[in-house]
Structure 1
């Protein structure tokens, strides 16, 4: 006889359970590929009832699908598609005179499709059927990958933000939460893609204005899955045209001074492929010797080397230039002390 549900005056719903003889966990969980036990134990009465059969079932769209059956006369049967992955834990269940009080089953190599509600049903005499259920949740650890959007990004002249790095947490269940750790003044754009198998792929792009100042800056992706954190970092490779200065003229090039030279210093990525020197006051002085980034003046200083010198430094991105005006004085000048 099945007793009905009823509600008390306080509004709390109670249920008389004829199935309290079947003890199970209310919920269990495991990761894809792992093993999980679904406990089912029968607490017999006094005097004891006779167990005729135990049937494990999976609820699929409201209908019951048999998983495993233990019968004292017919033995143990595990049905497709569970045959290779499900077994009764207690060896006594599989004996000639089986003990069916503990019919815990073990799932191996969990699949996402195993997530469901499972019913453990005892057929007894004379008490009839007794059952209970457990909710099985299957998790999937994501694959974490971080990468630069391209091996290198070219700095632009406009303040346009562009994607410089991408962090992907693929095929996770539940989905990961992606955050970024960096000193850069950028922003992230995150989206979730729901996969047909129930997993979620989270993709987060980091956008920033590419510039010389952020070259070789560190960018770290933090992916949080359940209570686990995964971090990965990349170093930005920003390509930019040369920024050039000329060193060597100290304002004290006087007549007959020896060993003077100008050096072209360029900050560039990729490195400088070509240095070129120009003299704006006519033909390059005969005492000037060109040596890539260095312009060496041989012999003593004369008035002939006075004038404006320009260094052009080029890489594959562009060309940067700097100039210096060389003034030749008649006498040595003591440096001014601050």
Structure 2
């Protein structure tokens, strides 16, 4: 375990040391880069004068010995273009910018040895390095990128093509002599693709050319297509809106035949509709039989039948031509002996009105039913029955009633009957007169009757307790019988 921990600690120490070394290098480089102050990028157009500034910041404890400006083109080796030592005059070695470069101010200051280049050219683009020789830190430098700009000449054009099955160029766009290279894109609903190529231009500029290719169809004619050019010298993208120019042979359609040409019908008309690119030049009407009937008049793309007869029972053909080709359409006419019944123009309206009326009536009926239901619930009888009156001990308020017999399937000899007379009790509130009784009460009474009882409405003679001609005391009880004796009980009225 101790050996394993020691190995891990050793690895950790090595990693920590490596990180510290990298941090120190980066810190030193950052401090060095910050000491020599330059502009990261300078933009210029050809013919202008540019200033490349340089200064050494925080020179405390450091002795500045000499400063050198170095030019590094994109392709090629570094070249010294300006050198200054405090003990000597400025020196400008041979370089592409000799005669056009100088220190500013003049005489130069070692702490801020900026330079300027007049009449800059496109080939002057590249890195410009301000490098100090110092003691005791050695050489320190800062880098400025000089970017030469050239505004390109942008344009776009259409290519007129014929509809076909092969992919062809339908539009072109180019950005000529720009610096840096422009970006070209296309915006369209047409189904195609673009190819873009670059070509070196004059004075270190770049020319960009783009072509849009597709398989042209008649449906693509007139579709919008735009070339969009983006360049650093432009405030916003430059767009060139165009419309595709696809030529195709005429597309022909004959309209006007309603399949109801009957003998004697007059002034029926056929129209030959055609579209094409370029515009169709000629329209020719003919028949499959080769002869135009005498009752037919032709006026350009219209064919008029003055009076329908058997002679127009043929096939009419319309042929249209343009520079690309020709197109045709035909219609076979069938002459009928009698006319077909014409459909009413308002059939659809009538059907729609009937459907609307039915829906309206359904809505009204539903509303009425809901209103009635709500009214019945609000004004109808209560959903509960009041409790029966309490029985009193007074003889005047007492009413004799007989308990309902229990119907059982057991043999008669096994049944037990009480030999003592018991005062029957009957709830007469349930069986009051029919004048005061509602339908609900009568139905409740019938449903409460034991199984096997007759419906009181079907009996001509009411039970004793329903009679009005006698008093309750007229009710006679059955005689008492001993348990052990065989008997047949008398009729019991309940």
Q: Same fold (TM over 0.5)?
A: yes
Confirm or deny: 8 A CA contact 2:128 2:143 kept in the other structure.
yes
Equivalent of residue 112 in structure 1, options 122, 126, 133: 122
Q: Which residue of 2 aligns with 1:220?
A: 226
> Partner of 1:254: helix, strand, or coil?
coil
Q: Which residue of 2 aligns with 1:134?
A: 143
In the alignment, structure 1 segments of 5+ residues that lack a partner are 1-6
Distance 1:250 1:48 in 2: 104
Cα distance 1:135–1:294, how it changes in 2: closer, same or farther (>3 A)? Answer: same
Which whole-Å deviations, capped at 9, do the CAs of 1:253-299 have from their partners, x for residues lacking one? 233333222211101010011111112224211232222211233x4
Q: Give the deviation of 1:332 after TM superposition.
A: 3.2
Q: Which structure is higher in strand share?
A: 1
**Mean Cα deviation higher: 64-73 or 316-325:** 64-73
With CA pairs under 8 Å and 6+ residues apart, which has the higher RCO, 1 or 2?
A: 1
Confirm or deny: 8 A CA contact 2:80 2:95 kept in the other structure.
no
Q: Which residue of 2 aligns with 1:234?
A: 242
Confirm or deny: 8 A CA contact 1:29 1:138 kept in the other structure.
yes
> Partner of 1:113: helix, strand, or coil?
helix
RMSD, aligned α-carbons: 4.4
Confirm or deny: 8 A CA contact 1:117 1:133 kept in the other structure.
no
Cα distance 1:222–1:133, how it changes in 2: closer, same or farther (>3 A)? Answer: same
**Mean Cα deviation higher: 54-63 or 274-283:** 54-63
Q: Which structure is higher in helix share?
A: 2
Distance 2:182 2:95 in 1: 33
Which whole-Å deviations, capped at 9, do the CAs of 1:67-106 have from their partners, x for residues lacking one? 6989999899999975896676x6xx35xx8877555344
Confirm or deny: 8 A CA contact 1:139 1:172 kept in the other structure.
no
> Partner of 1:138: helix, strand, or coil?
strand
In the alignment, structure 2 segments of 5+ residues that lack a partner are 1-17, 349-494
Confirm or deny: 8 A CA contact 2:283 2:300 kept in the other structure.
yes
**Mean Cα deviation higher: 24-33 or 97-106:** 97-106
Q: Which residue of 1 aligns with 2:171?
A: 165
TM-score where L is the length of structure 2: 0.52
1:293 matched to 2:293: no
1:29 matched to 2:33: no
1:10 matched to 2:24: no
- How do 1:254-265 and structure 2 match up within 5 A? 254-265=262-273
Q: Which residue of 2 aligns with 1:181?
A: 187
Cα distance 1:274–1:174, how it changes in 2: closer, same or farther (>3 A)? Answer: same
Equivalent of residue 324 in structure 2, options 317, 327, 330: 317
Distance 1:288 1:10 in 2: 104
Confirm or deny: 8 A CA contact 1:142 1:173 kept in the other structure.
yes
Distance 1:163 1:191 in 2: 14
> Partner of 1:329: helix, strand, or coil?
coil
- Structure showing greater radius of gyration is 2
Distance 1:108 1:210 in 2: 53
